[in-house]
Chains A and B, each alone.
Chain A
Amino acid sequence: MEKKELTCIGCPIGCTVTVTMRGGSITGITGNTCPRGRRYAEKEVTSPTRVVTSTVCVKGGDRALVSVKTAQDIPKDTIFACMRAINGIVAEAPVQIGDVLLENVAGTGTAVVATGAVRRRRD
């Protein structure tokens, strides 16, 4: 039997969650205070994921950048591939919160969406 101790990143409480495993399958999860912690622990020991947040250049806006995130969490090992794809995006002002700026980033099936708004620059 194998025991793994994790810190849940689901919320700022940061529960210490203990996962017991046998032969690659989970036999028990303890220490979480909510279902979110259970889901996090299951994922973290099998296929860990993260939401990636960054910025994207904006053309013709009143600001040079807009903040973005992956609409869902993506596999941890695709983070840097995602960042390369995000750094290749140039958005056109105006941008609204929730605008999809790139579909299926780095083959993850997840979109990159704006988390901020940028108005068109008044000349």
Chain B
Amino acid sequence: MKAYDYDIVVIGGGPAGLAAAVAARDAGAGDILILERDREPGGILNQCIHNGFGLHTFREELTGPEYAARFIAMVRERHITCLTETMVTDIDRDKTVTAVNRTQGVFRIRACAVVLAMGCRERARGALHIPGYRPAGIFSAGTAQRLVNMEGYLPGREVVILGSGDIGLIMARRMTLEGAKVKVVAELLPYSGGLKRNIVQCLDDFGIPLKLSHTVVAIRGRERVEGVTLAQVDAAGKPVPGTEEDYACDTLLLSVGLIPENELTRGMGVEMDAVTAGPAVNESLETNLPGVFACGNVLHVHDLVDYVSEEAACAGRNAAIFAEKRRIGEIADSGPQGVASGCEPETVLVPGPGVRYTVPQRIRTERMGERLTVRFRAGAVYRDAYIGVYCNEERVIHRRKPVIAPGEMETIILEKRLLTAYSNLQQITITIEEA
């Protein structure tokens, strides 16, 4: 009897899961299964009908559905099974996956390696503490996007958007094109959380004002939204009395952040990173549970799908290597504690001043490739600043960047020969240093 039903089970058939499965197959993995809860694979890309995807991966500008279709085709060419309308309800520490769908009911799959690729979800109104009634007409920007682009409903005619994340900016343009009047986009922070290009082509093109350091302090209307009140906020984020402005509107869209969807991950007892709200991983994108890998927005929220695909391919390749090692007996099949990654010397990656987090969070230098991509985000907007990398206390990289902003993920490449030059490398610190 086979010890496992599948060499690799990928949880989620969005951009991360698809790219991980493709890379795992190309690295030699045998049986791969993708589990997707929606009707079709592709994830959030299916509702992102705007263009701008794929410049990095395919050297051309694609829309979301086109980008997804390329990866879905690659999955099909490789005869990788993808079960849709299938919801994973639990994953054990020994990597037994429990799932449910209409045709098979509840069933279990034993996986040799698991790739977590569940993506993220939007922060909702409840997280914002906006006073007022609970009228119809308040949507998250992504829900509005699904309604307009996939279901064919325009959720409102006069719109105010709170939050300047990319989905909010994209929806400001989309609603405008479909005939709605977008009156204003308000952002609590003194800078936008979205990409600069989206401010240009989604707001400036249509004359939609962006009010930085503003928030919604009241929502009017009992049955349906009738209007909202915006107020300026001070440096501490508190509304400034006397700055209130009323906007009549029937719809409020919220684009106020994304939360990695890690209920399954936490259920397995995977060690988490409090800042990313995703699992903490090593250079192979492996969690503290051996053979459990993570990639895409479940690991940390990305701005660009191209980087998700790249990261997911890395997780997929490493899952394939893990499955192969276990197949030939190089890794013992002795439960999650059997080959804890903690047995090998690890270097900790530390987010220094100006840096909120890094992914990965730790590196086994022996296991890394010649070059390792480290992704991180800044905590504020910096101009003419430097990205500094320190091995123990010594600065080894000092790279100038004209602009560093929290809305745009940064990357730094660490070369193996740079790190192996240190015999006792305890920690690598990444900082942002002003000139």
Instruction: Please encode chain A, from 7 to 41, with 1 for each CB lying within 8 Å of some chain B CB and 0 for all others.
Output: 11111101010000000000000000000000000
Contact of B55 among A11, A64, A76 (CB under 8 A): A11
How far, in whole Å, are A97 and B69 apart by their CA atoms in the complex?
9
A12/B304 contact (C-beta < 8 A), A57-B152, A69-B51 known: yes
How far, in whole Å, are A51 and B53 apart by their CA atoms in the complex?
13
The total number of A-B Cβ pairs within 8 Å is 78
Asked if A116 lies at the interface with its beta carbon under 8 angstroms from chain B, I say yes
Binds A, one of B27-35, B198-206, B391-399: B198-206
Closest to A67 in B: B49
Instruction: Tell me whether B152 and A55 are in contact (CB under 8 A).
Output: yes
Instruction: Tell me whether A9 and B201 are in contact (CB under 8 A).
Output: yes
A53/B150 contact (C-beta < 8 A), A7-B199, A7-B200, A115-B65 known: no
A65/B150 contact (C-beta < 8 A), A7-B197, A7-B199, A12-B197 known: yes
Chain B residues whose C-beta falls within 8 Å of the C-beta of A57 in the assembled complex:
152
Asked if B433 lies at the interface with its beta carbon under 8 angstroms from chain A, I say no
Instruction: Tell me whether A115 and B196 are in contact (CB under 8 A).
Output: no
Min CB distance B307 to A, Å, is 9
Asked if A54 lies at the interface with its beta carbon under 8 angstroms from chain B, I say yes
Could you say which interface size class chain B belongs to?
Answer: 20 to 34
Closest to A36 in B: B55
Asked if A106 lies at the interface with its beta carbon under 8 angstroms from chain B, I say no
Identify the 5 closest CB pairs spanning chains A and B, nearest first: A14-B196, A67-B49, A116-B65, A9-B197, A115-B63
Instruction: Please encode chain A, from 93 to 123, with 1 for each CB lying within 8 Å of some chain B CB and 0 for all others.
Output: 0000100000000000000000111000000
Chain A residues whose C-beta falls within 8 Å of the C-beta of B46 in the assembled complex:
116
Asked if B52 lies at the interface with its beta carbon under 8 angstroms from chain A, I say yes
Known: A6-B200, A9-B197. 10 other contacts (CB 8 A): A7-B197, A9-B200, A14-B408, A51-B61, A54-B177, A63-B150, A67-B49, A116-B49, A116-B65, A116-B69
Asked if B121 lies at the interface with its beta carbon under 8 angstroms from chain A, I say no
Instruction: Tell me whether A14 and B197 are in contact (CB under 8 A).
Output: yes
B residues at A contact (CB < 8 Å): 46, 49-52, 55, 61-66, 69, 148-152, 177-178, 195-197, 199-201, 205, 303-304, 402, 408
Min CB distance B73 to A, Å, is 10
Min CB distance B222 to A, Å, is 32
Instruction: Tell me whether A8 and B197 are in contact (CB under 8 A).
Output: yes
Chain B residues whose C-beta falls within 8 Å of the C-beta of A50 in the assembled complex:
201, 205
Could you say which interface size class chain A belongs to?
Answer: 20 to 34
List 6 A-B residue pairs with CB atoms under 8 Å apart, sorted by A's residue number. Answer: A7-B197, A8-B197, A12-B197, A54-B178, A65-B150, A116-B46
Most B CB contacts (10 A, CB to CB) among A54, A67, A68 go to A67
Chain A residues whose C-beta falls within 8 Å of the C-beta of B148 in the assembled complex:
55
Instruction: Tell me whether A64 and B151 are in contact (CB under 8 A).
Output: yes
Asked if A52 lies at the interface with its beta carbon under 8 angstroms from chain B, I say yes
Asked if A83 lies at the interface with its beta carbon under 8 angstroms from chain B, I say yes
Asked if A45 lies at the interface with its beta carbon under 8 angstroms from chain B, I say no
Min CB distance B200 to A, Å, is 5
A76/B205 contact (C-beta < 8 A), A7-B199, A14-B196, A64-B152 known: yes
Instruction: Tell me whether B408 and A12 are in contact (CB under 8 A).
Output: yes
Min CB distance B310 to A, Å, is 14
Closest to A51 in B: B51
How far, in whole Å, are A33 and B271 apart by their CA atoms in the complex?
40
